[in-house]
A and B are shown apart, each in its own frame.
Chain A
Amino acid sequence: MLSAILTKTFYTFISLMVILNYALLLIGSMARIRAKVQGRVGQPVWQPYIDIIKNYGKRTAVTHGVMFYLGPVFRLAGGLGTYLFMPVVYGFVMFENFSFSGDLLLVMYFIFFGQLGMALGAGESGHPYSPLGVSRGLAQMTAFELPFALAVISIVAQYGTLSITEIVAAQQGGWQNWVAFTNPFAMIAGMLAFLGMSMQNPFSVVIAPQEIPIGPPTEMHSAFLGMLQTNRAIFNGAKMVLFMNLFWGGATHKYLLVAILIMVVKTFLIYLYVNIVGASFPRFKTEQSIRFFLGVPTIIGIIAVILQSI
C-alpha cells in the first residue's frame, strides 16, 4: 500500500516536472516567435525561468489579507487540478496522473475554479483595476464556456463516456479516428473557445496592459506573482494537453519518449495556432468578444450536438 502511494507520488512529481518545464520553455519560445513576427530578436527562450526566480527572490512582499494569500493558491490549485486529473500520455502509468471515469467533468470544473479563486484574491487587493479585470474575465469566461461545453457535450454523446482516457482510447488507430475528423464541428467550436481560454489577442482584454494595468494580478508581486507564473505554465500546459486529448487523438506510442515527443509536437502546434491568431488580430472589447463567442462558435457547437444526437 505504502509503496503504491510512494510510486504514485513519484510519478505525479515527474509528470508535474515534465509539464512545468515543457510549458515554461513553450511560453518562452512562443514569445520569441511573436517577437520574430514583430521584427525583433525577442527574449531568450529561458526568460520565464529567470523571471520566476527573480520574483521568488524578491526581498519584500506586502499582503492585503487572507484572501490575498489564498488567491494565488486557489489559482495554482486550479492549474494543478486541471492537469492532475487527466492522462498526459495515453497508455503509460507514469503519465496517467489521477484520471478516473468522470474526470472530464472535474477537469472542466477546475479550469474555472482557479479563475474564481483569483477573483476573490484580486478583489481583496483593493486595487480598482483588479475587479475590473476580474469582471471582464468572468464575462468573457461565461461566453466561451458555452461553445466549449457544447463541444464537450457533443464528444460525450459521441463516445458515451465522461472519461478522458476512454475518449482518447476511442480515437486510436489512425488520424481518421480523431475527434477532429470524426466530429469536426465539435473540434471547431472547441478550438474557437480555446482562443478565449488562452487569453491571447484578440481576447486579451482581461489583462489589457495599456488600459487596466494588468487586470486581476495588478497588486500581485514577489512570491505571489512567482506562484501565478508557475501556475500559468502548468495551467497552459494542462489546457493544451486537454485539447490534444479531446480533439487530436491524445499522445501514445509503444515507447514512452516517442509518446512524449508526440505530445510535445501536438501541443506545440495547438499553442502555435493560438499565437498565430494572436499575432494577426487586434484586441476585442469585452462586449465584442462576448458577441463573438455567442455567435458562430455557439452555433457550430449546437450543430455538433444535434449531429451527435440524431
Chain B
Amino acid sequence: MEKDMERRLYADTGAPEGSPVVNPDPRTLGDSSNIQLFNEQLKLLNSGLTEEDRLNFCDTPPEVIKPFRGHWENFLNWARSESLWILGFGTGCGAIELRPLMTSRFDMYQYGIQPRPTPRQSSIFVIGGYASVKTMKRIVRSYEQMQGPKFVLGLGSCTINGGMYYDSYNTVNRLDHYIPVDVYIAGCMPRPEALLAGLMELKTIIKEGRGEGANKYAENFEWYKANQKRIIKDWNMPDYNW
C-alpha cells in the first residue's frame, strides 16, 4: 500500500529517484508543457530576460560532472566533508540557530565548518526554515552560483512539508522540489544540537560519496526548472545563474 502510494507520488511529481516521500507540494503537480526552457540547439532560452540582457548571460545548462574513481575521489570527499563552508544567507527563522553554532558554546569551527559570505566560495547551503516564493527566487540564484560539489541542508519542518505554513499562499511546502536537498532536520525550530547532528550526518553522506546534489540538479534540470518557474511568476533572471 505504502509502496503504491510512493510510486504514485513519484509518478505525479516526476521527482528524481531517491527523493524522500512526504507531502507533495500541490503547486508542483501541474502541467509543465507550457514552460519552454531550450531552443533547438539545446541552449537556454532565458525568456525572462530582455533581448540585450540575454547577451550578458550564459545560455548553457549545468552539466553532470562525473566524480573521479577510487581513492582519489575518497580523499577529495574527505576534504570536502572536513571543510564545509556555509553560505551566510539566512532564509527563515532557523537562521538564528547558526549564531550559537559559531560562538563558544557549540563552536562549529572545530568540525571544519565555517560561515562564508559569498555563494561562490560556499559549499553548503542551510535553508533555515520556511522559504517564501520571494526568497525561493534568491535561493535558486544563490544555489546555482555555488560551485559543485555543493550540499543543501533543510532546517526545520517548514522545509520538509511546509510546517506550520503548510497552507500559506506564499511559502513552498517541499524544498526538494526546487533544489536537491541532502539532509533534512525536523523540528520547529530544531535546536543547535540538532543542526550539528545534521551537519555530522551530511559529513558521512559526503564521505560515502552520496553528496551528489549538484549532479542530481544537472540531471533533472528541466524538472527542477519547471517547478521553480511554476511558483516564481516574475522570472526576470537567467534560466541558469551560474
Contact = CB atoms under 8 A, between A and B. Distances in A.
Interface string A214-231: 100111111001000000
Nearest to A217: B121
B30 interface: no
Contacts, number: 80
B170 interface: no
Interface residues of B, number: 26
A54 B83 contact: yes
A104 B83 CA distance: 38
Contact of B107 (A35, A51, A58, A60): A35
B207 to A, nearest CB: 13
B107 A42 contact: yes
B120 A218 contact: yes
A41 interface: yes
B235 interface: no
Nearest to A36: B104
B110 A43 contact: yes
A200 B106 CA distance: 25
Contacts of B82: 50, 54
Contact of B103 (A40, A44, A62, A220): A40
A38 interface: yes
B214 A221 contact: no
Contact of B112 (A44, A214, A221): A44
A51 B72 CA distance: 16
A84 B141 CA distance: 43
B123 A54 contact: yes
Contacts of B80: 54, 57
A219 B121 CA distance: 8
Given A44-B112, A54-B83, A209-B117, 9 more contacts: A35-B107, A38-B103, A41-B110, A43-B109, A50-B82, A54-B80, A58-B148, A59-B149, A60-B147
A35 B103 CA distance: 9
A295 interface: no
B59 to A, nearest CB: 14
Given A58-B148, A60-B147, A220 B120 contact: yes
A2 interface: no
Interface string A35-79: 100111111100100110110011111100000000000000000
A61 B146 CA distance: 9
Contacts of A225: 121
Contacts of B104: 38-40
9 contacts: A39-B104, A44-B112, A53-B75, A53-B79, A54-B80, A54-B83, A59-B147, A220-B120, A225-B121
B110 to A, nearest CB: 4
Interface of chain A, main secondary structure: loop
A59 B67 CA distance: 8
A214 B79 contact: no
Contacts of B148: 58-60
Contacts of A44: 110, 112
Contact of B117 (A41, A50, A53, A213): A213
B242 interface: yes
Contacts of A42: 107, 109-110
Contacts of A217: 121
B133 interface: no
A307 to B, nearest CB: 45
A201 B242 CA distance: 33
Contacts of B75: 53
B114 interface: yes
Nearest to B104: A39
Nearest to B123: A54
B147 A50 contact: no
Contacts of A213: 117-118
Contacts of B114: 43
A223 B117 CA distance: 18
A220 B112 contact: no
Interface in B117-169: 117-118, 120-121, 123, 147-149
B65 interface: yes
B93 interface: no
B76 interface: yes
A225 B121 CA distance: 8
A57 B120 contact: no
Please name the 9 residue pairs, one residue from A and one from B, whose CB atoms are nearest each other, closest first. Answer: A213-B117, A39-B104, A221-B120, A57-B76, A54-B83, A53-B79, A40-B107, A41-B110, A43-B109
